C-alpha cells in the first residue's frame, strides 16, 4: 500500500485499498482480504494520515475453546513531518520525511496497528458460559450434570455479595 505524495495538491485526499493479509506479512489469526481507508491531509510541512483498516480474524474462544470468526477494526493517525533540524523526542505516531520523499508506504504501520488491535480476551460471544471445569461440557449448549458440592459456610457471605453484585448489574 503506497501513496504517491509528490504530485498531490495541498488539502484532503481519500484513498481506499483492498489487499490480502499475506501482502503485508500478517499471519494467524488474520486471513483473507482486508480493506484500508486513508484520509490524507497534505499541508506545507506535514502530512496527516488517518488510517482505518477492517481485518478478518479467526480466534479460539478463551472460555469455551470454540473457533469463531470476527472482524477487527484498527485505526490510527500518523503524522509525516518534513525534517528540519534535530528532533530529540520519540513518538510512534510521527515519521520524519524529506522534501524529496515522493511516496509513503503504509504496510508496516497497518500491520503493527492490526496486531495491536487483537483483543486480550477473545470471546465467541459476550455472555459465553464456557466449559464445566469438572466434566468439560460446553455450557452454552447443554447443562452440566455434575453434582453440586456443598459450600463451606465460611464462604457464604462472599456468595451473598456476589449475588448482590449480579443483581445490581442486571438492574442498570
Mean pLDDT across the chain: 89
- State how many domains the chain has: 1
Give the pLDDT band (50/70/90) at residue 172: low
Give the cell for residue 136: 468439560
Distance between CA atoms of residues 63 and 73, nearest Å: 23
pLDDT of res. 89:
55
Is the residue at 122 inside a domain? Answer: no
In a domain, 150, yes or no: no
- Weakest-pLDDT range from 60-69, 70-79, 89-98: 89-98
Lowest-pLDDT range of 27-41, 50-64, 119-133, 139-153: 139-153
- For residue 144, the model assigns a pLDDT of 85
Per-residue pLDDT at 10: 93
Lowest mean pLDDT across 4-8, 24-28, 127-131, 155-159: 155-159
Q: Is residue 165 part of a domain?
A: no
pLDDT for 97 beyond 70 = yes
Is there a domain that residue 141 lies in? Answer: no
Q: What is the pTM of this model?
A: 0.75
Could you tell me if 44 and 37 are in contact, meaning their C-beta atoms sit under 8 angstroms apart? no
56-69 average pLDDT score: 95
Residue 101 lies in a domain: yes
Q: Are the C-beta atoms of 56 and 32 separated by less than 8 Å?
A: yes
Note whether residue 73 is domain-resident: yes
Model pLDDT, residue 2: 92
Query: Residue 13: which domain range?
Result: 2-116
In a domain, 20, yes or no: yes
pLDDT at 171 over 70: yes
Q: Is residue 61 part of a domain?
A: yes
Amino acid at each position: 500500500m503506497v501513496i504517491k505524495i509528490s504530485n498531490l495538491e495541498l488539502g484532503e485526499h481519500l484513498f481506499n485499498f483492498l489487499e490480502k493479509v499475506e501482502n503485508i506479512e500478517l499471519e494467524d489469526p488474520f486471513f483473507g482480504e482486508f480493506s484500508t481507508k486513508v484520509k490524507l491531509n497534505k499541508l506545507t510541512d506535514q502530512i496527516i494520515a488517518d488510517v482505518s483498516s477492517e481485518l478478518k480474524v479467526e480466534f479460539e474462544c478463551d472460555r469455551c475453546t470454540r473457533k469463531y470468526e470476527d472482524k477487527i477494526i484498527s485505526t490510527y493517525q500518523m503524522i509525516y513531518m518534513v525534517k528540519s533540524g534535530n528532533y530529540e523526542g520519540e513518538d510512534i505516531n510521527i515519521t520524519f520525511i524529506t522534501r524529496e520523499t515522493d511516496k509513503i508506504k503504509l504496510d508496516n504501520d497497518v500491520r503493527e496497528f492490526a496486531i495491536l488491535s487483537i483483543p486480550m480476551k477473545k470471546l465467541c460471544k459476550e455472555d459465553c458460559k464456557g466449559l464445566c471445569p469438572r466434566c468439560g461440557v460446553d455450557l452454552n449448549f447443554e447443562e452440566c450434570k455434575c453434582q453440586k458440592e456443598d459450600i463451606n459456610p465460611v464462604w457464604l457471605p462472599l456468595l451473598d455479595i456476589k449475588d448482590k453484585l449480579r443483581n445490581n448489574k442486571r438492574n442498570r
